[in-house]
Amino acid sequence: MLAGALGARPAHGADTGANASALWDAWPHTVAVSPFALKHEGLRAHVAALARRYPGLLTIAEEGVSAEGRHIPLLVLGRGPTTVLLWSQMHGDEPTATSALLDVLEHLGKTRKTPDTERLLSRLTLAIIPMLNPDGAERTRRTNAQGIDINRDALRLQTPEGRFLKAVRDRLKPSVGYNLHNHSPNVTAGRHGPQVAISLLSVPYDEAFTENEGRLVTKRLAVLVQRLLEPFAKDRVARYDMDYTARAFGDSMTRWGTPTLLIESGGFVGPDEANTLVRLNFIALLGTLHALADGSLANVDAKAYDAIPLNTHDRLFDVLVRHARVIGGGGLPPYLADVGLMVTPARPGFSGPSPRGMRAGVLEVGDLTDFLGKTEIDLAGRLLVVAPPGGEDGWKKTLAGLAARGLATAEGLLTLSESGLSAEAKAWLGGAPSLAPGYGGDFLVLQPAGEGRFRAERRISPVEP
């Protein structure tokens, strides 16, 4: 089935996949809440509403049961000879594609009388598990209620959720799988590229990374995703760093005969990050499904997969302060350094806890020339000083105390040397840890205002108000 159904070339020089701009405009934005706010009951309500709006579009073919007894629906639609299995949120804190799958279903229901959707539903059978780990989703955590990472349970099958996914695969024997995740938003496309929005992997099935017809299909799918998203996420699509893990489900699916494409959502810093990532997933999923249905995937050059830049971890900070003279609270003389910070425990644009438990605070201090910041602040010629505890009120009390000792004016100017300021900063920390990776306090930016005088210009906090 795989070589025949997915390898046939389209007639009349058809293009590869659906039109990206048309898909962007077609996004229905079905789920109004943040992906992190969509829990099990909300998902079931959305599915029920879809079934009412579009009778006959989909069926709940069966339901698995989570460790805590929540039902896990398998949705099936289409009647084609090629079965495609898509599963999302096997990590409970990785929800972006769950919302995108609901958007795909909404779009297919709304357009099912159009030629493109009729062709897709006549040539493909879509089997969708939109939330494999509802217990983890309820807690906004990676693991299931047993504390097990379902994605590392493909061999032992100790999780009921993993057993359900394996049983679905064995029964349906899908020709292609989509394994849908989120990864850290602090990843770049190559060492010098921008923040990654989407990472892709043609999942291997052995240590040798053998390339068979199935892996050629998933490489073509990855290349097509990159092309579809380039107008909206230029240079923000990367290739997931590949290894082989026999106990992981994506690797096992490919080994069992269901070649699998991994799609990982990263970050898209800005005021509407959550919706942007959902929309990009919608385009990637629907565009590649159309290409599978119409045969145009065969026009995609699988060799272009290797040209997709590898994602690079730990090179992107929420805030990168550059070229500051730093007073770190340890009583040491000022030194030139860059400071990289995570700004909030939650991902920008999302509500709810961080999917990776990232803590706000300093990640690295020193020469960060090769790093990037989502926000960058050049403090050349200024001092970056650890702030007294207590926020703005704490600084006002400290400033009043300095004024009483003749070390500040009534207008708030500090009147002491850099060495004196360093000693004061050590004192106002009161024995708390000084600046180093893990420091979670605020900073003051001090502007020189003449010999031995400094004015507090602004505050930098690792926790947004």
The CATH number of residue 421's host domain is: 2.30.40.10
Residues 164 and 278 in one domain: yes
137 within a domain of the structure (yes/no): yes
Q: What is the pLDDT of residues 414-438, one digit of tens each?
A: 999 999 999 999 999 998 889 999 9
Residues 166 and 309 in one domain: yes
136 within a domain of the structure (yes/no): yes
Return the structure tokens found at 52.
């009412």
465 within a domain of the structure (yes/no): no
| Domain range for 337 | 316-460
Please tell me the predicted confidence (pLDDT) of residue 156: 96
Q: What is the average per-residue pLDDT within 312-338?
A: 93
Domain boundary among 294, 313, 332: 313
What mean pLDDT is reported for the chain? 91
Domain boundary among 249, 281, 313: 313
300 within a domain of the structure (yes/no): yes
Residues 259 and 404 in one domain: no
Residues 328 and 265 in one domain: no
Domain boundary among 254, 284, 313: 313
Question: What does pTM read for this prediction?
Answer: 0.86
Residues 180 and 300 in one domain: yes
The CATH number of residue 294's host domain is: 3.40.630.10
Residues 307 and 352 in one domain: no
Q: What is the average per-residue pLDDT within 344-359?
A: 46
Residues 205 and 332 in one domain: no
Residues 42 and 28 in one domain: yes
265 within a domain of the structure (yes/no): yes
Please tell me the predicted confidence (pLDDT) of residue 360: 84
Please tell me the predicted confidence (pLDDT) of residue 362: 93
Residues 267 and 373 in one domain: no
Residues 275 and 334 in one domain: no
Q: What is the pLDDT of residues 370-383, one digit of tens each?
A: 899 999 999 999 99
- State yes or no: pLDDT of 255 exceeds 70: yes
- State yes or no: pLDDT of 348 exceeds 60: no
- Tell me how many domains the chain contains: 2
Please tell me the predicted confidence (pLDDT) of residue 191: 87
